[in-house]
Every structure is written in C-alpha cells, then in structure tokens.
Amino acid sequence: MSLEEFHRNFRSDLQTTIAERVEAGEGPFPSEELVFAEKVMEHVADTGICDEPTICHWNGKVGNAKLRITGYALSSDETALDLFVTHYFGTEELQDLADSDATTTASEGVRFLFRAASGNLDAKIDPTHPVRDLVATIRSRWSEIDRLRVFVITDGKTKTKRFSNKEVHNKMVAVEAMDIERLFRHTDGKPRDELAVSFVQSIGRPLPCVHVPDPDADYEYALTAIPGQLIRDLYLRFGSRLLEANVRTFLGAKRAVNKGIVETLRTEPEHFLAFNNGLVLVCDEAAFERAEDGNLGLSFLKGLQIVNGGQTTSSIYFASRDDRTIDLSHVMVPAKIIILKGSQDDARERLISNVSRYANSQNAVKMSDLSANRPFHVQLEKLANETWCPDGATRWFYERADGAYNVMLLRDGNTPAKRRKLQEMIPPKRKLKKNDIAKYHESWRGKPNQVAMAGEKNFAAFMSAIDDDPTIVPNPLDARWYRAMIAKVILFKAIESMIKTKDAKETFRQAWVNIATYVVSVAADRLGDRLDLEQIWMRQGISSGLRDLLWDWAVIVNAEFNRIAPGQQISEVAKRPDTWAKVRAADYPMTQRGISEMRTS
C-alpha cells in the first residue's frame, strides 16, 4: 500500500464513520475535523504513545495570541500530559504541511499550556465547558507534571516529525507531528522505527561494547553498559513503548527487587553495574564506530525494545523522578543487545517473542503481551470471519493484527465499487481490535475501574485473567460465546451513542466511554443472565425499552461521578479502585415493561 492509497482509505473510512454517526442521531456534531482528531488520538493511545485521550475542543484569545487544543491525554498518576492540536486539510489529495505551519499550530497548544499553568485562563472559558477541569488540573498539578508534549495531528505530510522543545515555566515541552505518513508507518507495522537512540548525540561518544557478529545466524550480539541517566531519558521520551515486548509491567517499588534497586541508586550508585542483572534488548538496526581510543563502540540503535529488565528501567525512572537527591551520573546498567537480521516480519516477531520468553524464564511470568498468535485471538478471528449476522449479508471484523482491516480492503477492494461493497458488508463501525474486545468483555465482567485504565493496561489485565482463570472464556471459543460477545459490544456502543448525541451533551459533558463502561457493569450486575444476549445479537441492536432503562441508569452513573468527586475529571475518578463500589451501591430503578430482551424466568 502506498502513502497516497493509505490517505485515500483513511479519508474514506472517516466519511463512513461520519455517516454512521449522523445516522445514529449525533447530527452534524462533531465536525469532520474532530472525528479525524478522535480517530488519530485513539490510534496514538492504541500504539502506547499516550494514555487514553479525551476529545476536548476549545479555542480562544489572550490579547492577540491564539490558544487552542483539540484534545488531551493525562496519565493515571497525573505526571504526564499530552495536548493535541489539529491542522486539518480535509482534501481528497494528500497535502504537504510546511514545518513553519506545523510549529505555528503547535504554538497554539503551547500557549494554552502556558496560560493554564499561569492560572489566568479561567475568565476566558465558559464555566460549563469541560476544558475547565483540565485547566484546574494543570494549575494544581503543575509541580508534579514531568512530561509534557504537544502533538500536531494532521491529515497532511510533514517533513519533520519532532520539533525543537519549548520551555513553559521552567519545564520542557516536546513538540511532535502525528501526520498521515507517521500513521501509515504504524499501520504498515513499523511503529518501532520511532524508538531510536544515537549514543553519539546523547552522550557525545559511542558506548564501549563487545560485538559478536555471526553471518550464519538471524541475529548479532553486543554486550555493553548504558548510563543510568540515558535509561531515564529514554523512558521519559518513549514511556512504556520501550517495554512493549516485555512480559511484565512495572510492579511498583514495594516489591523487594525494586526496593533493592532504589536503595542502590540512593546509597551505592557506583556499584549498580555490579549488583544489577541488567537489561536484555532487541533492536532492528545497530551501528558501530571507533571511539577516540580506537576501540569499537556502539553508536546507534533503531527499533529497540527492552524484553527483560522492565523493572530496572521503570525503577530508575520513577526513583529519580520522585527523589531529586538521587544522582544517576555514576550509574551504569549492564545490557545485552540482540540485533535482528532477518527481513521477514513474522520471523523477527517470533524471535522477539522467544527472546522475551526465555530471558524472563527465571521467573514465573505471564505471556500477556505476546498475544497476537495465541489461540484465543486466532479462534476469535476465525469466528468473526465465519459468523454472519442474522441478515446473512454482513459480519463483524476482528483485527488480530494491526492494520488487517485496511489490508483486507486493499487486497479485495481493488476498485471503488468493490471497496464500497466490502464496506457495506463489513463497515468500519463493526471493526474490533484486541483492546476493544478487552474493553467490552471486562466491562460486562464488572471491572469498570480496570477498563478505565484503557488500552494496553486493560488488555494486559484481561489476558492475565484468562491465564489465571480458564473459566472466564471457553476453550476453544464457540459460536454461542462469540454471539454473546458481540451482543455485549452492541450494548456498550448503544449506551455510548445515546450519551454522545448533541441533545445529551447538556447532561453528559465528558468521559462518555467511562460512563458507558460503568453502565454496562451496572447492567451486568443488576440484570445478569436475565438479559437475553441472543436477542440483542439477532436484532443487532437493543429495544427502545432497554434503551430507556439504560439511559436512566446512565444519568444516575453520571450523577454518582459528580457526587463522588465534584469538579474532577471523570476519566481519572473512574480509574480509582473504590469508585466501582460507590457507583454500584447507588439505587437503579428497575422496570421490565417494554424490555423484550428480559427473560421472564
């Protein structure tokens, strides 16, 4: 697929999504630009670049200075904030966006951040606008926020993807473009290309190393030691994307291994190299050059992933962030680097999976992140491809591998007529990703605060739950389970669609997906097996009676959030472990009148 084809396909999918939303009653709101922004922001979150995003369009002026944001993503601990600003062309042909225009767009978001941190934006914002919650958070949490980024999201093509940092109140703000070319690279299966480091640029010299090339193997090997400050900087820049192939997530400083790491960093940083087992990394490319002493050094890595040592990496970052007395200048971290050589993507991914698996085999760990080829996903993909909706003409699509839907459209829709026919048979609204299944499944399973963590965090928890309790899903999956699963998807989407309509926005001002998540959990808790999911599957929708009941419950859930934490962002309150117990305890009036999906016995 070429970049131009990807642009046309993306725009076609965008138009289809807008048509679907208009048909669902959302009317002309949101605009084409905001739907585009929403799709791109969701993609950025899905790839692990940011946390769950929130659409929050606001623009204004302070003096002659224009301020604007289209959305934001705030980390669960409120220490990392990303702002999104759009530069949207909306043209059929791909446009170039000059770097000067991209930086001008970014400056609108930087100015917003500056004014919000200064505390002089309140008078410029309508008291009912949801952006006020973000402004209040920025002002109150400013001293704790240590990673700030402004993304320019555009359907054009930029020459530069990362621009010079901006300074706001003694904090550095990274400025990036998420353009159509970068989206294409991700969809084309190359998101790791962005994870690159030049040691010469970062620390002024190549790293001393032992290099073991092998012309007959599908990898090369290097052994080195990486400065602790560089480990911190890499985690600050890339976050959990560095650990994508790592089978464990950061488990917290209370675990003995992490407490030991932190203690060494505080009291014996010069002994870190001796005490720590180090990291295992894989990378797609590496470069070597001679150092000043004539010895071979490692100068560049591209497509790097930490497959073992996620605890070490996270501990170094969080310990130095939370304790400013920790000096990383004397910390060196041992590192074993596997340099992939094969050109076949499947073979490379298989090698990464096995390196991660065996590098971690000294501890009993789950393989949650190494999941695309697991039986659950393979079986689900097969069921989606073979199970037709009751009309016999349409079906759902399970995207086991990122970009598979677009690949299918390109492969089988090689003419405009064939593409339209495919989109009628499998519309974009019926495309489901792995994270989507985790969201809908776990909402029904009564885990709304976990679902609110969103993206990879909820997905990893879902897969771990399947590993720990084989009764959660059948093995093998069967058609009955699949139909019930799709019914839960339909139920969730129906709630979300209701509370996002133009008329509903006076009641539901923010966090629609979180409210829908909690309403689904309430429905599962209150209705459970009495709700006939097979009927929902057969109808591919819900009855007006059930819709009215869920609307009433959504109003109650929304009110509970406002009661529990008035003035706070629902998206953050929803993540708290005790929120579900409080929402669940509310009174939800029950009626069975007009609800055909309710079983009588």
Q: Contact 73/54 with Cβ under 8 angstroms?
A: yes
- What's the confidence (pLDDT) of residue 388? 94
The answer to whether residue 379 is domain-embedded is: yes
Range from 29-33, 45-49, 344-348, 556-560 carrying the lowest mean pLDDT: 344-348
pTM of this prediction? 0.60
Task: Please tell me whether residues 220 and 342 are part of one structural domain.
Answer: yes
Q: Contact 247/456 with Cβ under 8 angstroms?
A: no
- What's the confidence (pLDDT) of residue 99? 94
Which is nearest to 574 in space by CA: 120, 14, 111, 52? 52
- What's the confidence (pLDDT) of residue 576? 86
Question: Which H or E run includes 135?
Answer: helix 131-141
DSSP-derived letter for residue 26 is: I
Identity of residue 476: P
Rama region for 293: left / alpha / beta (φ>0; ψ in -120 to 50; rest): alpha
Give the C-alpha separation, 385 to 387, whole Å.
Answer: 6
Of residues 129 and 108, more confidently modeled: 108
The answer, yes or no, to whether residue 363 has pLDDT greater than 70, is: no
Q: Which of 187, 204, 233 is the last residue of a domain?
A: 187
Which is nearest to 115 in space by CA: 102, 105, 125? 125
Q: Residue 319: helix, strand or coil by DSSP? A: helix
The answer, yes or no, to whether residue 404 has pLDDT greater than 70, is: yes
The answer to whether residue 390 is domain-embedded is: yes
Task: Please tell me whether residues 554 and 566 are part of one structural domain.
Answer: yes
Q: Which of 324, 359, 394 is the last residue of a domain?
A: 359
Residues spanned by the domain of 231: 191-359
- What's the confidence (pLDDT) of residue 90? 92
Average pLDDT over residues 13-39: 77
Task: Please tell me whether residues 390 and 538 are part of one structural domain.
Answer: yes
Give the C-alpha separation, 206 to 200, whole Å.
Answer: 5
β-pair partners for 281: 306, 337
The answer, yes or no, to whether residue 601 has pLDDT greater than 70, is: no
The answer to whether residue 199 is domain-embedded is: yes
- What's the confidence (pLDDT) of residue 192? 62
The answer to whether residue 55 is domain-embedded is: yes
Q: Which of 165, 187, 209 is the last residue of a domain?
A: 187
Task: Please tell me whether residues 336 and 259 are part of one structural domain.
Answer: yes
| pLDDT tens for each residue of 374-388 | 788 889 999 999 999
Q: Which residue has the tokens 């922001």?
A: 41
The answer to whether residue 589 is domain-embedded is: no
498 phi, psi to nearest 5 deg = -60, -45
Number of domains in the chain: 3
The answer, yes or no, to whether residue 504 has pLDDT greater than 80, is: no
The answer to whether residue 595 is domain-embedded is: no
The answer to whether residue 365 is domain-embedded is: no
Give the C-alpha separation, 70 to 93, whole Å.
Answer: 23
Task: Please tell me whether residues 355 and 439 are part of one structural domain.
Answer: no
Cβ contacts of 417 within 8 Å, gap of 6 or more: none
Task: Please tell me whether residues 289 and 326 are part of one structural domain.
Answer: yes
- What's the confidence (pLDDT) of residue 347? 61
The answer to whether residue 370 is domain-embedded is: no
Task: Please tell me whether residues 342 and 405 are part of one structural domain.
Answer: no
β-pair partners for 171: 168
Task: Please tell me whether residues 325 and 421 are part of one structural domain.
Answer: no
Give the C-alpha separation, 222 to 257, whole Å.
Answer: 26
Give the C-alpha separation, 289 to 40, whole Å.
Answer: 39
| pLDDT tens for each residue of 282-333 | 888 899 999 888 899 999 998 888 888 877 888 888 888 878 899 999 999 9
Percentage above 70 pLDDT, the chain: 88
Handedness of CA 555, 561, 564, 567 (dihedral sign): negative
Give the C-alpha separation, 474 to 483, whole Å.
Answer: 13
Cis peptide before 448 (omega within 30 of 0): no
Task: Please tell me whether residues 21 and 48 are part of one structural domain.
Answer: yes
Task: Please tell me whether residues 146 and 225 are part of one structural domain.
Answer: no
- Most confident residue range from 14-18, 406-410, 504-508: 14-18
Task: Please tell me whether residues 407 and 528 are part of one structural domain.
Answer: yes
Of residues 275 and 250, more confidently modeled: 275
Task: Please tell me whether residues 153 and 230 are part of one structural domain.
Answer: no
